């Protein structure tokens, strides 16, 4: 049996808009992937810990504020 791709969808920062993240998570599930959604207002440390704990293959970030460059840079350094 082939292992399903496991995806973590995270919503960093203070932005409270998560409709897009939920739509993507649902579409990935429909495509046969296992999806973990962390919910709103996640810190970089929380996202990293969840990705490690869940042993994910893919990390998806939903960022509406335009702070994606800074957040992604910090995430990649850790």
What is the per-residue pLDDT across 51-67, written as a single tens digit (0 to 9) for each? Answer: 999 999 999 999 877 76
pTM for the predicted model, two decimal places: 0.86
Ordered by start, the domain boundaries in the chain are 6-77
- DSSP bridge partners of 12: 42
pLDDT in tens, 8-47: 999 998 888 899 999 999 999 999 999 999 999 999 999 9
pLDDT for 71 beyond 90: no
Q: What is the CATH number of domain 6-77?
A: 3.40.50.280
Q: Cα–Cα distance between 29 and 44 in angstroms, integer?
A: 24
Among candidates 53, 73, 75, 65, which has minimal Cα distance to 18? 65
pLDDT at residue 22, as a whole number: 96
How many CA atoms are closer than 13 Å to the CA of 63, on its beta-carbon side? 16
């Amino acid at each position: 049996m082939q292992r399903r791709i496991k995806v973590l969808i995270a919503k960093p920062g203070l932005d409270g808009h998560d409709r897009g993240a939920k739509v993507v998570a649902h579409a990935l599930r429909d495509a046969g992937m296992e999806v973990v959604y962390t919910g709103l207002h996640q810190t970089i440390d929380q996202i990293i810990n969840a990705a490690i704990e869940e042993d994910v293959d893919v990390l998806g970030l939903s960022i509406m504020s335009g702070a994606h460059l800074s957040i992604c840079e910090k995430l990649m350094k850790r």
